[in-house]
Amino acid sequence: MDHRTWRFLVKNRVKEGRLIRIAVVNTQVPFIKGGAELHASNLCAALEQHGHDVVKVLIPFKWYPGSTLVDNIMAARLLDLSESTGTKIDMMVGLRFPAYLAQHPNKVFWIIHQHRAAYDLWDSGHSDLLHQPDGSSLRELIREEDRNAFRKTPYKIYANSQNVTKRLQKYTQQPSTPLYHPPPNHKLLRQGQFGDYLFVPSRLTPGKRQDLILEGLAQTRGPVRIVFAGAPDTQSYFDYLRQKAGDLGIEDRITWLGEISDTELIKYYANARAVIFVPQDEDYGYITLEAMLSGKPVITSTDSGGPLEFIRHKREGLVSKPTPKDLAQNFSHIMQDQSLAETMGAAAHERYESMNINWAHVVNTLTGRDNG
Amino acid sequence: MRSDEPHIHWVSPLPPAETDIAHYTHRILPELTERADITLWTDAPSWYPKLTKYCPVRHLYPGEISPSDMRDNSKGSAGGDVMFVHMGNSGIFHAGFLKMVRRIPTIVVLHDLALQEMYFYAVSKGLMELDGYLDEIEQWYGEAGRREALLSRDGKIPAYELSQRLPGFEVLMKNAVAIVTHTSASHAAVTERSFVPAYQLELPYRARTTASSERSISGPLRLMQFGYIGQNRRLKEIIQALADLGPDFDFVFDICGKLGDPEKIKLHCEQLGLTDKINLHGFVPEPQLDAMLEEVHLVFNLRNPTMGEASGSQLRIWDAAAASVVTDDGWYGDIPEEAVFRIPKENEVSSLKILLRQISQDRHAAMSKGNKGREQLIAKHDPETYADGIVQVAHNFSRDAHDAVLANAARRVLAGNHAQADLLRDRLSTLF
């Protein structure tokens, strides 16, 4: 059966309200929990809520040394997900490299991100491949695998944000369509008071640049307090942050909550003055959306990627240069002017509501109901 | 240049290094830099500053360089970084590069198939482990090959003899993404191994605007030989042929370049009474060399044995519209009949005597060969075509690197069973 016939039959079944079997295929770095993992889980839940039979297929991923990266790519590529125990799997949704290389005749890409070490991180000098003798070849392997996989699909390719769409276009000349989805607690997030702290909810990891936030805090004037929530990826990075806070003399203005429950997370969002989110070129970033749903302005950075699709300077938040000085000014500004925080927070909430960010739209788009 | 053009890293000996590969690189720089973003790399301590008018030149540390050293911070990298590494048989110029091509997947430009002398040099300088070298020789030539290589390394078999049976180019394929050769014989040898993609490009040479094949029709016959003159250049046989023609045969024989054993040759000339007719010049500046070629009636450009490699010297001879005599073997065997004189590998002395007599009686026949040779140069060896070919190979790097990485993974999975690995690679190529 060719792609078109397969797709036609699946669409008809969707239109008739009949159940289809869908494999949501994602990469899993063992013991790492972040936005991408939530993304896959919530997609599965949404598809099930819309009446489909869903399985989440997680393929473990290790990208070092280079030979293991190659083995992982080959392993993913060799997986055949077209059926299980003699029953056809109607559709596969591929989310991340290399898991989305698995074989299926009716594969829809909804790309969270490519393997960035072969793309933007290579260009920015942050790719681990740059320091491996065979790094150039590995980079080409990854790029060719992506190109070949995208070439084979007759369907539109979806990306989880405009930022990912731009990268796909820039590095593989692959057109794609951004398809936004709600953050995990979208139905529970609520608006509260505009408190006396700035909230930083995120895994503690270099890419989220908590160290830059600390440097910014050290340059603020006036009483600025920051609450960090999130588990560290590695103990060494957490030690580094605490050491830095100590060296900067700002320990008494910081609270480290660590990993907190969803209930606590919602509370901290609801009562913050604003949310700080300054990652380096984030793909999407739930934190932005969660802040918007909580009616909070977001302080982000000009190089943060995903958040900039939602936050405009002095409208839904403040967009800083990625420098301690500029961040410090914006931290102080928003702490000194609660009215500004309230205005921008309301605008952020309104903007979210206007963007058709809901799971029904995602499910209908991926299964073909919304795209003809 | 488009933003997705690959950045080419050209690893090569560079002038003033006394090797034709350095001159070759110099010759094609205008065309290459017109078509691609080029960076030159060499492990020599210095190079001609004038090269930098074409592109950046950087010093190479073959044992340390990584992709991060090659990345250009100021540019995007949609087209990628592609490394071309030029390999020949001179240990002095290529042993360092050997270390690099064994570390980093690259496109290897193979200027010579017979590389045993270079390997021995690399082993002697600690740039290659002896056991690693022997293991790879055994992989391609079996246990007998390993034994022969060891005997040769210990001086019991001359390296050039070993190279005839075990050329050794296969060692460079292990980590290569693709191989570029300059002759059909080399191309066939590489493709026969079915290990990496192989490309054949005609060795380039920028022909001067005009050149005349006209030569003096009176006076002594002007003869010449130049370059690195080892045993396979058959100088001893040439001198013998000239001696056999007797004292009345009027000629002047100029030898420019480096002789394997100059004292022995001088003694040989003295013994044959040819000292007055044979001049040993050593290396001469290129303009002088070209001026001499413009006056010569015949250039000896023999290769016996040859591994089939193309000759930069032959292109220089043709550029001067000079006649030449070559061995009927390898690349020279493929040259059109009207562009050179050819002699068989057997009975060289008598063949040379016949040819020399013929030319002394009919210098126009030699001039005709010179003319046709220059036509051959212009038709097949222009640098623009060559540079287009290099850019095309660079464009294929992504695909070739992809295939090479997967093939190497397959070989790793089936380590020790190369036949199975090749089968798996074929299977993978259908899947991927």
Q: What is the pLDDT of residues A65-93, one digit of tens each?
A: 999 999 999 999 999 999 999 999 999 99
- Is the pLDDT reported for residue A248 higher than 50? yes
Listing DSSP states for B368-420 in one string gives HHHHHHHHHHHHH--HHHHHHHHHHHHHTHHHHHHHHHHHHHHHHHTTT-HHH
CB pair distance less than 8 Å for B80 and A138: no
Q: What is the pLDDT of residue A225?
A: 97
CA distance B299 to B314: 9
Q: Torsion angle, CA of A235/A236/A241/A247, rounded to 10 degrees?
A: 130
Q: How confident is the model at residue A368 (pLDDT cuts 50, 70, 90)?
A: confident
A–B interface: beta-carbon pairs under 8 A: 81
Residues of B with CB below 8 A from A77's CB? 431-432
Residue of chain A minimizing CA distance to B175: A134
CA distance B72 to B74: 5
CB pair distance less than 8 Å for B401 and A171: no
Percent of chain A at pLDDT exceeding 90:
84
Q: Which among A67, A132, A144 is the nearest to B402, CB-wise?
A: A144
Q: Which residues of chain B have pLDDT under 70?
A: 1-4, 73-79, 307-308, 415-432
Residue of chain B minimizing CA distance to A101: B432
Q: What is the pLDDT of residue A2?
A: 65
Q: What is the pLDDT of residue B261?
A: 87
Q: Which among B76, B80, B431 is the nearest to A140, CB-wise?
A: B80
CB pair distance less than 8 Å for B405 and A123: no
Residue of chain B minimizing CA distance to A169: B78
**CA-based nearest distance A140→chain B, Å:** 5
Instruction: Give the 3-state DSSP-derived string for chain A, with helices as H, strands as E and coil as C.
Output: CCHHHHHHHHHHHHHCCCCCEEEEEEEECCCCCCHHHHHHHHHHHHHHHCCCEEEEEEEECCCCCHHHHHHHHHHHHHCECCEECCEECCEEEEEECCHHHCECCCEEEEEEECCHHHCHHHHHCCCHHHHCCCHHHHHHHHHHHHHHHHHHCCCCCEECCHHHHHHHHHHHCCCCEECCCCCCCCCCCCCCCCCCCEEEECCECHHHCHHHHHHHHHCCCCCCCEEEECCECCHHHHHHHHHHHHHHCCHHHEEECCCCCHHHHHHHHHCCCEEECCCCCECCCHHHHHHHHCCCCEEEECCCEHHHHCCCECCCEEEECCCHHHHHHHHHHHHHCHHHHHHHHHHHHHHHHHCCCCHHHHHHHHCCCCCC
**CA-based nearest distance A124→chain B, Å:** 8
Read off the pTM. 0.81
Q: How confident is the model at residue A32 (pLDDT cuts 50, 70, 90)?
A: confident
CA distance A29 to A62: 7
The Cβ of residue A248 has, within 10 Å, a number of other Cβ atoms equal to: 17
Contact status, residue A267 vs residue A296, Cβ threshold 8 Å: no
B157 vs A5, which has greater pLDDT?
B157
Q: What is the pLDDT of residue B222?
A: 97
Residues of B with CB below 8 A from A125's CB? 68, 71, 73
Interhelix angle A135-152/A66-78, rounded to 10 degrees, is: 20
Q: Torsion angle, CA of B322/B323/B327/B331, rounded to 10 degrees?
A: 50
Q: Which among B4, B70, B412 is the nearest to A67, CB-wise?
A: B412
pLDDT tens readout for residues A251-263:
999 999 999 999 9
Mean pLDDT of A214-235: 94
pLDDT tens readout for residues A283-314:
898 999 999 999 999 999 999 999 999 999 99
Q: How confident is the model at residue A358 (pLDDT cuts 50, 70, 90)?
A: very high
Instruction: Check if A170 contacts B (Cβ < 8 Å).
Output: yes
Instruction: Check if A167 contacts B (Cβ < 8 Å).
Output: no
Residues of B with CB below 8 A from A129's CB? 67
CA distance B171 to B160: 17
CB pair distance less than 8 Å for A130 and B67: yes
Instruction: Check if B77 contacts A (Cβ < 8 Å).
Output: yes
CA distance B204 to B169: 22
Report A:50-69 residues touching B (Cβ under 8 A). Answer: 67
Instruction: Determine the length of chain B.
Output: 432
Instruction: Check if B44 contacts A (Cβ < 8 Å).
Output: no
Mean pLDDT of A217-232: 94
Mean pLDDT of A102-126: 93
Q: What is the pLDDT of residue A14?
A: 66
User: Which positions ≥6 away from B264 have C-beta within 8 Å?
Assistant: none
Q: Which among A70, A137, A139 is the nearest to B177, CB-wise?
A: A137
CA distance B120 to B114: 12
**CA-based nearest distance A134→chain B, Å:** 5
Instruction: Check if B68 contacts A (Cβ < 8 Å).
Output: yes
Contact status, residue B39 vs residue B12, Cβ threshold 8 Å: no
Residues of B with CB below 8 A from A138's CB? 405
**CA-based nearest distance A78→chain B, Å:** 8
